[in-house]
Chain A
Amino acid sequence: MTLLAIFGVISSAIFSGTSLLYTTLGEVIDERAGIVNLGLEGVLLVSASSGFAVTSLTGSPYLGILVSVLAGGLMNLVLGYLVITRKANQLASGLALMFCGFGLSALIGKTFVGVKINSLPRFLLPGLEDLPRLYTSLFKFDPLIYLVIPMAVLVWWLLFRTRWGLGVRAVGENADIAYASGRNPHLIRYQALFAGGMLAGLGAAHLAIAYAMNWTEYMTAGRGFIAVALVIFSKWHPLRAIVGALIFSAAVAFQLLLQSSGVQISPFLLDTIPYLLTLIVLIAWGGTRKHSAPASLGRVYQGSE
């Protein structure tokens, strides 16, 4: 086991953790407004495929990211229409959204399988200029990675330090009381879903455009579901979501490390480590969880007419 291999693993963990953190932050906003988005997987897929397609067609990764972000927001608005306006069941609507994402992304991405694209530029982590070239290539990150922690702080600030965030949290706790105090629960939930979808779109953009740099069907491989789990783990708090994403990335890194060190364990079993670790962390974290969940999470707001 060389130092280089360890650094390589850390580097790839940072890459894979970034899209997860963006997605988790998006889901934190959704759930703070009282809406569980189980269709995150579909949102990610549609964002990733459309962003990738646009990047490939125009040659501009920035335009691709923009389209990804908008696609994520729009997908979440579809969910919003079902669960807010039509008052449908959130879990079922989420799963329908997931199916929709599977199909739509395959249709969008069909002609882009195996296409090469211009990726985002990568910059070396400041302070590491003196390292040998072999090492520095591992610590060159794209702007989206540098932006992810500030984004978590921004989401925290939005949710806990602004009037809008107060409204979102109020609606998530009790939509009737929020309505009585002069807020519009429907509008706030739509806004929260759009914002959350845009963040998920950013995560998908990082996955397809900056990290994997290609499109394959079902490339998200369960990230949407893991993000939902991480939201519970982070107790619906954006800053704790950083910890959650770090732990998950560490698990991925550990798994890669084991594989690269030639341990005789089936790669299939190693692949289960991140999921099992998430589960174990949830169990260890359990018990106190109930107090931090938004009180009306998953409930339909019937309106106060």
Chain B
Amino acid sequence: MLKISEALPRFSVIQNKTVILVIRYLYMMLLAFLLFGIILLISGKDPLQSYKDIFTSTLGSAYGFSEVLVAMIPMLITALAVALPARVGLINVGGEGQLYIGAAFATFGALTFSNLPAWLLLPIMIFLGMLGGALWAFIPGYLKAIGLVNETITTLLLNSVAPKIIGFLIFGFWHSALDTVKTPNFVAAARLPTFFGTRIHLGLLIGLILLIIFWLFVKYTRWGLEMRAIGNNAQAARRNGIPLKKYLIVVMCVGGAIAGLAGMSQVSGFYGVLLLNFSMSLGFMGFMISWLAGGEPLGILLMSFVVAVIFTGGNLLQLTRGVPYSVINLLLAITLFVVLARPSLIKGKKA
């Protein structure tokens, strides 16, 4: 059978792997929309009108587009929190918990140092958020490195613990005078600046910078190379003198720190307040995005954008069409099913 690149030699742009990748993703999106349309039809909604709503509300207007970018910020960052540990073969399903603890640490900073100026307070919050996430990730990282417990299961269990700690902190100490389910609103200095009069905040820039650093790091540094060696064959890497345990712990902690940063950017940039259960599976979405992208930086950027479109559009669907909020999960799941069912089309697949 002819490959696409052989069949269309004249169009040099189509030979570009990235373009092929994009076309394939679009094709799969189409399939996913078809399946989801059937579900909408069964539940008595007009799928065509719903899709029109989704697209006009997300990509059709400047405001909608800005909302997509806002939704994309935490997904982009949590995906990186998964992609980095994945380089050494660690499966960090705990982005959710690390994000919560990071948010809690950042909130501590925002509430304690609320009279500091923004240029000092924000870096403190970022540091605290990353510290919180790193500490939370240290537990699974350490347990994995000494060979006791698999990190997948530890991170999943800790995911269930983290939101309860948030609840404890909010109810016990931080709740505002009016409302027991959230902290008082952060002072202006504790908010990440927003741009262009939209809700897009500095988190987007932080996420993009992290993405670039991630790309440079894994591609051009010795550590990136050693991490790849560990990911390919941990024992061989260890016998070649690469400090395996140190790498496992440090990389897991850095992953956790990135997830904690996502939590900080959510409470500081998006909500401006710490809420109970604010994350709503962001950590898991990050895992999916990172996996779908095969851990490649460009793929992460693309997939987090696509997921953000689904997420924002689904939000609107909930408001205007009266479908439950969780149906967003269904749309996401169907998209993932379609992508997963075609592993041979995906670049950088892992068996």
Contact = CB atoms under 8 A, between A and B. Distances in A.
A30 to B, nearest CB: 15
Given A96-B337, A107-B330, A282 B149 contact: yes
A88 B343 contact: yes
A272 B165 contact: yes
A283 B324 contact: no
Interface in B269-311: 281, 284, 287-288, 291-292
Interface stretch (A130-138, A139-147, A200-208, A222-230): A222-230
B320 interface: no
Interface stretch (A62-70, A97-105, A119-127, A166-174): A97-105
Interface string A66-93: 0000000000001001100011110111
Contact of A103 (B143, B156, B326): B326
A275 B157 contact: yes
B165 A268 contact: yes
A89 B291 contact: yes
A225 B350 CA distance: 23
Interface string B163-181: 0110110011000000000
Interface residues of B, number: 51
B160 interface: yes
A178 interface: no
B150 interface: yes
B341 to A, nearest CB: 4
Interface string B312-349: 00000000000111111111111011001111000001
B152 interface: yes
Contact of A286 (B149, B287, B337): B149
Interface string B45-61: 00000000000000000
Contacts of B281: 99, 102
B91 A91 contact: yes
| Chain A interface category by residue count | 35 or more
B161 interface: yes
A176 interface: no
B284 A106 contact: no
A71 B108 CA distance: 44
B149 A283 contact: yes
Interface on chain B toward A: helix, strand, loop, or mixed SS? helix
A82 B327 contact: no
A110 B161 contact: no
B149 A272 contact: no
Interface string B199-240: 000000000000000000000000000000000000000000
Contacts of A106: 324-327, 329
Contacts of A107: 39, 43, 323-324, 326-327, 330
Given A86-B343, A225-B156, A279-B157, A217 B326 contact: yes
Nearest to B314: A103
A275 B153 contact: no
Given A105-B326, A106-B327, A88 B341 contact: yes
B153 A232 contact: yes
Contact of A96 (B148, B158, B340, B351): B340
Contacts of A180: none
B15 interface: no
A279 B158 contact: yes
A266 interface: yes
Interface string A211-247: 0000001000010011011001000000000000000
Contacts of B171: 266, 268
Nearest to A282: B149
Contact of B150 (A217, A222, A232): A232
Contacts of A103: 326-333
A225 B43 CA distance: 30
Nearest to A233: B153
B168 A92 contact: no
Contacts of A222: 159-160
Q: Which of A87, A110, A228, A268 has the most CB of B within 10 A?
A: A268
B93 interface: yes
B154 interface: yes
A302 interface: yes
A299 B291 CA distance: 16
A268 B340 contact: no
A41 B143 CA distance: 24
A82 B338 CA distance: 9
Contacts of B197: none
B86 to A, nearest CB: 11
Nearest to B140: A279
A282 B288 contact: no
A300 interface: yes
A278 B157 contact: yes
Nearest to B159: A225
A99 B329 CA distance: 5
B147 interface: yes
Contacts of B349: 89
Nearest to B167: A268
A271 interface: yes
Given A87-B351, A99-B330, A102-B329, A92 B340 contact: yes
Given A86-B341, A228-B153, A269-B168, 4 more contacts: A91-B91, A91-B93, A104-B330, A266-B172
13 contacts: A82-B337, A91-B91, A92-B336, A99-B284, A99-B330, A100-B333, A107-B43, A217-B324, A225-B159, A226-B160, A268-B165, A286-B147, A287-B148
Interface of A: 38, 78, 81-82, 86-89, 91-93, 95-100, 102-107, 110, 217, 222, 225-226, 228-229, 232, 266, 268-269, 271-272, 275-276, 278-279, 282-283, 286-287, 289, 299-300, 302
Q: Which 7 residue pairs are nearest across A and B when measured between Cβ atoms? A: A103-B330, A106-B326, A100-B333, A286-B148, A103-B329, A96-B336, A268-B168
